[in-house]
Amino acid sequence: MIKVVVFDFDGTLVDSNAIKQGCLQAVVANWPGGPAALKEAQVIGGDRYRIFAEVARRLARGRDDVDERALGRRLVQAYSQCCARGIMAAKERRGAQNALMRLKRRGLKLWIASATPANHLPELLRHRDLLRYIDGALGGPASKHDNLRKIMKRERAVSSEVIMVGDGEDDLSGARAAGIRFIAVHAERRIGTPCPLSIPDLTTLVPLIDRLRARPARRGGGKR
């Protein structure tokens, strides 16, 4: 029996992936070599702090007039402000708020596990009027896996009682590492790995979860 539904935020509840990519490019656009440094930093990977620390390292290389750490902080701040403005105005993923409302009425616990920094997440959710639906939200720099484990512990839920809804490979890998089922949102086709449970947007999420809840509980669904 599903008791807890965990949602990714960007790209899942809000159509904001393109906004975040645009902000990445905008922040480095006026720096000579900025776009190339960003591209190289993204190959290395990580959250916004790691990416812009690497960008700053590359931009400050050989320059005595640039404080690498200070530049990294400025780039992160500029990126975060750009994202906040864009995400607050972005369209919701089709069916998102209606799905949250209906799942809440069914008595399910609703959480958000996002890569967005934890200190920025509450304001974004408040502005988008989502706090009334959710029971909690966890963000970066913790991994999706770590946050899913925290949610399971707080809700005293075993793996068979939790399901995650997301649109990225990190959502899928986090769910698999936590041993829970995953529903892929394929609005932007960002997940290349085949997923048994998938939906184009959130308009069909509630009927899918209703069907999953109606199935007999599996034995040995997970450890507390």
CATH class of 4-15+92-214: alpha beta
Domain locations along the chain: 4-15+92-214, 17-89
Give the C-alpha distances (Å, rounded to integers) separating 66 from 27, 44, 55, 154: 16, 22, 12, 45
Residue 222 is predicted with a pLDDT of 39
| Secondary structure (DSSP) of the chain | ---EEEE--BTTTB--HHHHHHHHHHHHTTSTTHHHHHHHHHHH---HHHHHHHHHHHHHTT-TT--HHHHHHHHHHHHHHHHHHHHHHSPBPTTHHHHHHHHHHTT-EEEEEEEEETTTHHHHHHHTT-TTT-SEEEEETS-HHHHHHHHHHHHT--GGGEEEEESSHHHHHHHHHHT-EEEEE-SS----S--SSEESSGGGHHHHHHHHHHSPPPTT----
**Amino acid, single-letter form, for residue 73:** R
Tens digits of pLDDT across the chain (224 residues): 899 999 999 999 999 989 999 999 999 999 999 999 999 999 998 889 999 999 999 999 988 888 999 999 999 999 999 998 999 889 999 999 999 999 999 999 999 999 898 988 999 999 999 999 999 999 988 999 999 999 999 999 999 999 999 999 999 999 999 999 999 999 888 898 999 999 999 999 999 999 998 876 554 333 33
Distance CA(100)–CA(3), nearest Å, equals 14
Which is nearest to 139 in space by CA: 224, 56, 209, 48? 48
Residue 68 is predicted with a pLDDT of 94
Residue 216 is predicted with a pLDDT of 61
Q: Which residues contact 149 (CB under 8 A, 6 or more apart)?
A: 178
Residues 201, 202, 206, 212, Cα dihedral to 10°? 50
Task: Using the Cα atoms of residue 31, residue 46, residue 153 and residue 100 in order, give the sign of their dihedral.
Answer: positive
First to last CA, the chain: 15
Residue 224 is predicted with a pLDDT of 38
The structure's pTM equals 0.84
Alpha carbon 13 to its chain centroid, in Å, reads 9
